[in-house]
Structure 1
Amino acid sequence: MTQKLLILLLFLGSPFAHAQSLVWKTDMNDAIMLGVEQKKPLLIFFTAAGMPQNIQNEIFSTPDFAVWSRDNVILVRLDLSDQNISSTAMEQNVRLKTAFGVEELPQVCFAIASVKKGKTTFNKLGLMPYKPGGAKSWISQSNLILNPE
């Protein structure tokens, strides 16, 4: 009986382990370097304290999103209410929010970063707000932004 219970817990716990293994960058410079190195676009999640958790609970915490994000994007979380980051980093994050046209939080922006002669430029691919429908629908719509045909 104990062995069956352990197997059941392992089976049920494995999707949650995948969802918990997401690595979110919080420093934009680190994310840019990684994106350039891996030739992947950035998924920049603009958020702040007190924002609805729907996108995190229904999309980001799923095994489907964990697998998709690992293969397709560099995850960046920019919390615009984080009191633990420097004022320089906060100013940079707010400038990015404005430059990408993010008006409501939380919101995701897809962008490709490039660095030439020490200067970083961004190519905004699109914005993706939370939409009900689950992770598979959100991923499908994100793929249309990342791979327009």
Structure 2
Amino acid sequence: MKKIIFLVLTFLCLNVYSQQKDPVWHTDANKAINLSLQTGKPMFLFFTGSDWCIWCKRLVSEVFDKKEFKDWANKNIILLEVDFPKRSPQSEELKAQNSQLQRTFQGLIRGYPTGIFAQPVLKDKDVQFSVIGSEETGFSLGYVRGGAKTWILEANKRLKTKK
């Protein structure tokens, strides 16, 4: 009996340990920037209207909520959600931060959802962003029909242009 209990507990512990954690969707840009600088991983800034944008909701449910995306994101990028909700409350600090990020990337955001891969760079104690992509691949990535696998293929095309 003790052996059976031991085996069951061992199996449960291994199962819990083997499950990879979901990637963290940061909302604090400074935390995401610092993590990107520490790890060398590029950031993925997801510009969204979480409570009103149907294409944003589809992107989340068809791609970001899938195990394949979560595994890929954990290995490759730092996630930052830049949200512009209409009904959900946000702090004034978060609204100001998100508006500033939208101004920083204004030429690349033509609607929601828009995702931008960027590498933060420290220059004279100021953070600047080096956008990742090319004329061929594009500099932003939004909803892509075909699910997580197709979206990841498109993302990898952009990330391959990273210098």
- Normalised to the residue count of structure 1, the TM-score between the two structures is 0.80
* 1:51 shift after superposition: 1.0
CA RMSD of aligned residues (A): 2.1
Residue of structure 1 in register with 2:60 after alignment: 56
Residue identity (%): 30
Give the total of aligned pairs.
133
* 1:21 shift after superposition: 1.8
Q: Which moved more, 1:60-69 or 1:43-52?
A: 43-52
Residue of structure 2 in register with 1:22 after alignment: 23
Larger radius of gyration: 2
Matches within 5 A, 1:1-149: 21-48=22-49, 49-52=51-54, 53-81=57-85, 83-85=89-91, 87-100=92-105, 101-125=108-132, 126-148=139-161
> Which consecutive segments of 4 or more residues in structure 1 shift more than 3 A?
none
- Rounded Cα–Cα distance in structure 2 between residues aligned with 1:96 and 1:21: 25
- Rounded Cα–Cα distance in structure 2 between residues aligned with 1:98 and 1:117: 21
CA-to-aligned-CA distance 1:82-133 (integer Å, 9 cap, x gap): 5322x34322312322332212012111111012332000011121010111
- Rounded Cα–Cα distance in structure 1 between residues aligned with 2:70 and 2:117: 17
- Rounded Cα–Cα distance in structure 2 between residues aligned with 1:106 and 1:98: 16
Q: Which moved more, 1:89-98 or 1:65-74?
A: 89-98
Give the secondary structure class of the aligned counterpart of 2:146.
Answer: coil
